[in-house]
Amino acid sequence: MDAAAAPINVAVDLVVLTLRQGRLSVLLVQREDEPYAGTWALPGGFVQLEEDLLAAAHRVLQSEASLGREHTYLEQLRTFGDAGRDPRGRVISVAFMALGADLPDPVFGPGAADARFWNLTDIDPAALAFDHAEILGTAVERARAKLEYTTLATSFLPPEFTISQLRGVYESVWGTSLDPGNFHRKATRSPGFVVDLGTQTDGTGGRPARLFAAGEGTVLNPPLLRGGD
Amino acid sequence: MDAAAAPINVAVDLVVLTLRQGRLSVLLVQREDEPYAGTWALPGGFVQLEEDLLAAAHRVLQSEASLGREHTYLEQLRTFGDAGRDPRGRVISVAFMALGADLPDPVFGPGAADARFWNLTDIDPAALAFDHAEILGTAVERARAKLEYTTLATSFLPPEFTISQLRGVYESVWGTSLDPGNFHRKATRSPGFVVDLGTQTDGTGGRPARLFAAGEGTVLNPPLLRGGD
DNA sequence: CCAATAGTGTCTATGAGACATTATGGG
DNA sequence: CCCATAATGTCTCATAGACACTATTGG
């Protein structure tokens, strides 16, 4: 804790994930300025001197994605700080992951030429600015892992949802398909995962589904496993 | 990624965990200088301008705990950066967790009045400097969780160890007791966890135990669960 | 032989997954 | 009636955990 302090710049970068048409998507911003002008990057910004890291992340989320604190999950991933990661000088970036239900395309602010959600599969990682491909990969990996043992999947859904929609989250994020019957049982029996609202959807060519809301629990015990074999 | 850059100082803080006499212990340094002179803190130091974060963590590990890169597991935890966490000004700290086999008491360097390993149970969290109690808590939680689904436990042991010693790691870190027979089966049957060396200890009042080394695997599948109910 | 620890076998309950079956809506 | 989707039931297999048992050393 004692040595010469160095003038290092601190930024936050956000991996905003959502599902669009059942596909995992991430918000990217096309940079207007150098370095990496014209290329796509994660939304981010420098941390202000008196600003908590989480507050900085929320500020960027608001300004670059028009997303408020409600209905958006936000957690710190980790910090990327290799000496050569930014050509402008020493910049370390505290990366955050945000999850939300089918988010709108953002109204982009200054510094951005364009901003929109990309299907994960349409992104060429090598084309992203800075080390953002690595940050994005870390976020996706974290999201996939957390679906197994937390109730995080509900963050991808609106306040009221069906078990099919919840299953769709798992299938989209994991890229697998799951047995509807078995999934239904596990989801409804995991304590604290979902709450039966008693209401129903109107059937769209099938039996109407019950509506659920996210439960109070955060941990899934027992976990919902991918076939990790 | 575009706003006024602020002069924020970046530090690394280390949570160095080891087992001493079968108890989970952490390295603390008694601060010599203000702020918090005389109180115990996690070892740490400022990041140099041209230095990767991981390199800074390794440097602190070497200088404050005399620990080289060999036989020491090191991973980033997360970054603690609330605006008011350091009375000297804005300092954000990238926290790392280090694990090692029964580590020696360190020769402490400048800035420290004393340095030694503390049993976790002997620490009064409220007495630690800065927000180090929160950092320590995060590390312990992470270590406990990672024992479940990774092969990390072997990091607490010397290159050759018995299954009993491995079980002791779990029991010490989790604070539980495990069935020796069942643990033995699970540990030896988890692919990539341990490698049978074919050699034996000399029995110390009991049947001699086979010696094992850490396997190549990093993930434990299926996981070794705490009774999380 | 006894004590102590290492390692294996056996039984049972639980849960995952495959798959069948019933329930409930719309054309 | 048929189709589609929701929800539940049933069967089988694998595994966790309790616990008994065998193996191998030293005293």
Structure confidence at residue A6 (pLDDT)? 52
pLDDT at site B18: 96
Give start and end residues of each alpha helix (H) in chain B. 53-65, 132-149, 163-174, 180-189
Assess whether pLDDT exceeds 80 at residue A3.
no
H or E stretch at A141 = helix A132-149
Asked if strand D contacts B222 at the CB level, meaning under 7 A, the answer is yes
Give me chain B's average pLDDT, please: 92
Q: What is the pLDDT of residues B36-93, one digit of tens each?
A: 999 999 999 999 999 999 999 999 999 888 888 877 899 999 999 999 999 999 999 9
Sorting pLDDT into bands at 50, 70 and 90, what band is A17? very high
Average pLDDT in the A155-169 region?
96
Question: Cβ of residue B110 near strand C, that is under 7 Å?
Answer: no
Q: CA quadruple B132, B135, B139, B145: dihedral positive or negative?
A: positive
B42 CB contacts (<8 Å, ≥6 apart)? B13, B14, B15, B26, B27, B28, B29, B95, B128, B132, B135, B136
Residues B111-115: what's their mean pLDDT?
A: 84
Band (pLDDT 50/70/90 cuts) for residue A2 is very low
Per the document, the length of chain B is: 229
- Does A183 score more than 50 pLDDT? yes
Q: What is the pLDDT of residues A138-160, one digit of tens each?
A: 999 999 999 999 999 999 999 99
Share of chain A above pLDDT 90, in %: 80
| End-to-end CA, chain A | 44
Higher pLDDT pick, A102 / A84: A84
* Exposed e or buried b per residue across B52-61, where buried means at least 16 C-beta atoms within 10 angstroms of its C-beta: bbbebbbbbb
A77 min Cα distance to partner chain B (Å) = 7
The three-state secondary structure class of A127 is helix
- Rounded distance, CA B155 to CA B52, Å? 23
Task: Report the half-sphere exposure of A185 (CA within 13 A, side-chain side).
Answer: 4
pLDDT for the residue B129: 96
Question: A6: which strand partners?
Answer: none
Mean pLDDT of A56-71: 88
Confidence check: pLDDT of B6 > 60: no
Distance CA B120, CA B109 (A): 23
CATH C-level class of B9-147: alpha beta
Mean pLDDT confidence for A6-33: 93
**DSSP3 helix / strand / coil % (chain B, rounded to 5):** 30, 30, 40
Q: Are B211 and B197 in contact (CB under 8 A)?
A: yes
Mean pLDDT for B132-156 is: 97
Q: Which residues contact B207 (CB under 8 A, 6 or more apart)?
A: none
When pLDDT is averaged across residues B138-151 and rounded to a whole number, the result is: 97
- Rounded to whole angstroms, the Cα distance separating A154 from A171 reads 13
Separation of alpha carbons A123 and A108, rounded Å: 20
Q: Do β-strands A23-31 and B210-214 pair in parallel, antiparallel, or remain unpaired?
A: unpaired
In sequence order, the β-bridge partners of residue B94 are: B12, B79
**What stretch(es) of chain A map to CATH 3.90.79.10?**
9-147
Task: Report CB contact under 8 Å: B79, A78.
Answer: yes
Amino acid at B114: D
Interchain contact A174–B (C-beta under 8 A): no
Rounded, the Å distance between the CA of B123 and C1' of D25 is 40
Q: What pLDDT does residue B2 have? A: 45
**Higher model confidence: residue B32 or residue B226?**
B32
Strand D closer than 7 Å to the CB of B89?
Answer: no
Fold of A150-214: Arc Repressor Mutant, subunit A (1.10.10)
Which bases of strand C have any atom within 7 Å of the beta carbon of a protein residue? 3-9, 15-21, 23-26
For CATH 1.10.10.10, the residue range(s) in chain A are: 150-214
| C-alpha distance from B167 to closest chain A C-alpha (Å) | 23
pLDDT cut 70: percent of chain B above it: 96
Q: What mean pLDDT is predicted for residues A192-219?
A: 92
